[in-house]
Chain A
Amino acid sequence: MSATLTPGSLRGVKPATATRPVEKRWERVAPYGYVAPFYVLFLVFGLFPLLFTFYVSLFDWNPIGDKTFVGLANFQQLAGDPRFWNALRNTFSIWIISTVPQLLIALILAQVLNSAYLRLANFYRMAMLLPYITSVAATAIVFAQLFNRDYGLLNWFLGLLGIGHIDFMSTALGSHLLISVMVIWRWFGYNTLLYLASLQAVPRDLYEAAAMDGAGPVKQFINITLPSLRPVIVFTVIMSTIGGLQIFTEPLLLSNGTLTCGTARQCQTLSLFLFEQGFGSFKFGYGSAVGVALFAIIVVVAFINFLLSSRLGKKA
């Protein structure tokens, strides 16, 4: 095919209608064919299960297929179930402890990586993406060992500082910290790259002019970096919210594969609780009710996110 036609010269000329009618009709449906695989798979494995979750949550339903309609009984039980509220608390706690430092670290590193004339810039970028390509399952064992009560590197270090050994996984706060460290480790580099990409679009002259006017790094950060990164910050906050509400593998593997994540359920997240009910206790109905609750939480959080980001928009 000749792609060497000079297109500019042909602008305004009506396309030749050399194609036969059959082919034309075919051409009209072609785009639907191109996008169809996604929508078919989404309908079968995405939308239908989502809607079906609402349906199943109204039943007592076991994996063999026995089901009894119970109306809203699952939700009544859920509202009075301390395990659910505990899982909800844990999820939010881990989400906040992991998201806030993660995004702050990423912001600072992106600002620093954006320096002109930085040597080894490619090395630093690649190093920071390394955690993203390693699996949670493979690194969980490393983090469990680094935070181990007796032989862990961290406790050894704390010991040098005169702080006694801490058994991280045995307490709520400790286990949330450890899980958050893993989440932060995995994602801060990825977010740094996203911020850096946005920062590179900011004209460097802006910083130079600000510096000439005597604005230090902190002032530059607040007055130039933050406003220019607003869209990508909103994006990463939304993405880490979605990720944070789904944390599953870290607590499961750090607690040696127990679905309750510790005897006192100190780090059981909503996802783990859903899994425990659905696949541990084989209560599909009750597990689905947890799924519906998760959905409601996500809608509320998304709404708050939307409000906050549009208010931020007015301010900026």
Chain B
Amino acid sequence: MTTTTDPPRRTAAPQRASRPRRQPRIARVRWYTYLLLTLAALACIFPVYWMFVVSSVGSAAATQLPPRVIPGGNFLGLLKLVFETVPFLRSLFNSFVVAALIAVGQAFLCSLAGYAFAKMTFRGRDALFLVLVLTMTVPAQLAIIPQYMIMSRLGWVDTLQALVVPGLVSAFGIFWMRQHISATISDELLQAARMDGANSWQIFARIAFPVVRPAAAVLGLLGFVNAWNDFLWPFIVLKSPDMYTAQIAIKALQSNISVDLGLAMAGSFLVTVPLLVLFAFFGKQMVSGIMDGAFKG
């Protein structure tokens, strides 16, 4: 790493032959940049890594000072205990069903609505879209009591559809897909298809959706992650341990005083593993998805 900290000079910096682009000296990355970024990355990784360390050793590792940083070999043993303490397999299955349905629902329904807003003209479109944007600024949480009353009236308390149905489509997802569709699909292409006699559904299914499938996949992934991690709403509507999602199960595990800390950590880590796997495969796409969906200028 270069440690040159010369002040920028007014004369043009010498160009390095190996660089394809012109590179003024000032653009060089300083060592403290790396120090700062490495510290930030460590801060992000350490809690998750340490959760794994404690899960693989037992509670002794949690109270060891200076902290233990090398995993032990007891992870599977502790996991076995987790499964014996709470119906964890069932909870993981519940979480998976809920998150997968929401992921598919969001990827499809948000794309469809995003396509209508981006590429179709219909009366009231702009007003409807304004309403959609406004709904994003009102936190749904303040209405949880009536939401619970509705679920109760529908007979959905303590069922998984209470989690799935309200999450199948989101304002954020539609907004995001609309941006993608406006930016990537030209009106001329759709016009051409229309002249070929294709109706709007065919145009969506055969032209628009295939083009924005990567963006829809990222949206589905984010939907999966959020549904998997959701806590408050499942905490309210799920009553019996058999219906618990994994997050509620680890809460039950953590607040059970007789449960050892290592055990609680093992459960918490296990709940995180599926997301870590997803992240290992698709993290890059998630990063660029979030950045693409962001405001640009």
A3 touches B192 (CB 8 A): yes
* Residue from A7, A53, A120, A198 within 8 A of B189 (CB atoms): A7
C-alpha gap A174/B76 in the complex (Å): 36
Residue of B47, B122, B170, B276 ringed by the most chain A CB atoms within 10 A: B47
A139 surroundings in chain B (CB, below 8 A):
47-48, 51, 268
Give A128's nearest chain B residue, CB to CB: B44
Query: Cβ of B33 and Cβ of A291 under 8 Å apart?
Result: no
Query: Which B residues touch A253, using CB under 8 A?
Result: 251, 254
Partner of B65, one of A127, A134, A153: A153
Interface centre among B225, B269, B276, B290 (most CB of A within 10 A): B290
| Interface window among A32-40, A68-76, A87-95 | A32-40
Q: Is B264 an interface residue (CB 8 A)?
A: yes
Q: Nearest B residue to A35 by beta-carbon distance?
A: B113
- Kindly state whether residue A143 has any CB partner on chain B within 8 Å: yes
**A118 and B272 contact, Cβ closer than 8 Å, known pairs A5-B192, A5-B195, A135-B247:** no
Kindly identify, within residues 171 to 215 of chain B, every residue whose CB is under 8 Å from any CB belonging to chain A: 171, 174, 186, 188-189, 191-202, 204, 206-207
| Cα A194 to Cα B294 with chains together (Å) | 6
Q: Is the CB of B36 within 8 A of A109?
A: yes
List chain B residues, Cβ under 8 A from A28: 122
Nearest A residue (CB) for B297: A201
Residues A50 and B143 in contact, CB atoms below 8 Å apart: yes
B141 within 8 A of A: yes
Q: How far is the CA of A108 from the CA of B32 in the complex (A)?
A: 13
Given A10-B192, A135-B231, A156-B66: A208 and B26 interface contact (C-beta under 8 Å): yes
List chain B residues, Cβ under 8 A from A298: 137-139, 142
Q: From the candidates B37, B48, B143, name the one contacting A130 in the complex (CB within 8 A).
A: B48
Q: How far is the CB of A18 from chain B (nearest CB, A)?
A: 5
Closest to A202 in B: B297
Contacts of A202 in B (CB 8 A): 297
How near does chain B come to A232, taking the closest CB pair, in angstroms? Answer: 4
Whether a CB of chain B sits under 8 angstroms from the CB of A129 is: yes
Check if A38 sits within 8 Å of B297, measured CB to CB. Answer: no
What is the distance, in angstroms, from B135's C-beta to the closest C-beta of chain A? 6
B139:A122 contact, CB within 8 angstroms:
no
B37 touches which of A113, A136, A275 (Cβ 8 Å): A113
Assess the A291–B142 pair: CB atoms within 8 A: yes
Q: Are A138 and B51 in contact (CB under 8 A)?
A: yes
> Is B217 in contact with chain A by the CB < 8 A criterion?
no
Contact A137 B268 (CB under 8 A): yes
Cβ contacts under 8 Å, A271 to chain B: 141, 232
Residues of A within 8 A of B63 (CB): 150-151
Q: From residue 1 to 45 of chain A, which have CB atoms closer than 8 A to chain B? A: 1-3, 5, 7-8, 10-11, 13, 15-16, 18-19, 23, 26-28, 30-32, 34-35, 37-39, 41-42, 44-45
Q: How many residues does chain B have at the interface if contact means C-beta atoms less than 8 Å apart? A: 115
Docked complex Cα distance between A1 and B228 (Å) = 39
Minimum distance in angstroms from A254 CB to a CB of chain B = 11
Q: Within 8 Å CB of A141, what residues of B?
A: 51, 250, 254, 261, 264-265, 268
**Chain B residue nearest in CB terms to A28:** B122
Whole-angstrom distance between the Cβ of B215 and the nearest chain A Cβ: 14
B75 contacts A by Cβ under 8 Å: no
Would you give the 0/1 interface string for B47-70, flagging 1 where the beta carbon is closer than 8 Å to chain A? 110110010000000111111000
| Interface contact B116-A34, CB-CB below 8 Å | yes
| Residues of B contacting A: mostly | helix
When distances are taken between beta carbons in the complex, the residues of chain A under 8 Å from B168 are 37, 41
Cβ-neighbour of B41 out of A31, A127, A134, A291 (below 8 A): A127
Is A163 an interface residue, CB under 8 A from the partner? no
Please give the distance in Å from A61's CB to the nearest CB on chain B: 9
In the complex, are the beta carbons of A189 and B268 less than 8 A apart? no
In this assembly, does A116 line the interface, its C-beta being within 8 Å of a C-beta of chain B? yes
In angstroms, Cα B296 to Cα A184, docked, is 24
Q: Which residues of A contact B54 (CB under 8 A)?
A: 145
Tell whether A177 is near chain B: CB-to-CB under 8 Å: no
Which stretch of A96-104, A238-246, A260-268, A307-315 is in the interface?
A238-246
Residue A164 CB within 8 A of the other chain: no
Q: How far is the CA of A105 from the CA of B40 in the complex (A)?
A: 9
Q: Closest A-chain residue to B280, C-beta based?
A: A126
Chain B residues whose C-beta falls within 8 Å of the C-beta of A235 in the assembled complex = 295
Using Cβ atoms and an 8 Å threshold, which residues of chain A touch B191?
A: 7, 10, 15
A238–B137 CB distance below 8 A? yes
Contacts known (A193-B294, A298-B139); A49 close to B150, Cβ less than 8 A: yes
Nearest 6 CB-CB pairs, A to B? A7-B188, A49-B146, A127-B41, A135-B229, A151-B63, A49-B143
Q: List 29 A-B contacts (CB under 8 A).
A: A7-B188, A32-B122, A41-B165, A41-B168, A46-B140, A49-B140, A56-B149, A115-B33, A123-B41, A133-B229, A134-B275, A135-B275, A141-B261, A141-B265, A142-B47, A142-B48, A142-B50, A142-B268, A145-B62, A189-B44, A197-B291, A197-B292, A211-B8, A211-B26, A253-B254, A274-B141, A274-B142, A278-B144, A291-B145
**Contact residues of B with A, CB < 8 Å?**
8, 10, 23-24, 26-29, 33-34, 36-37, 40-41, 43-45, 47-48, 50-51, 54, 62-67, 109, 112-113, 115-117, 120, 122, 125, 128, 131-132, 135, 137-150, 152, 165-166, 168-171, 174, 186, 188-189, 191-202, 204, 206-207, 225, 228-229, 231-232, 236, 247-248, 250-251, 254-255, 261, 264-265, 268-269, 271-272, 275-276, 278-279, 283-284, 286-287, 290-292, 294-297
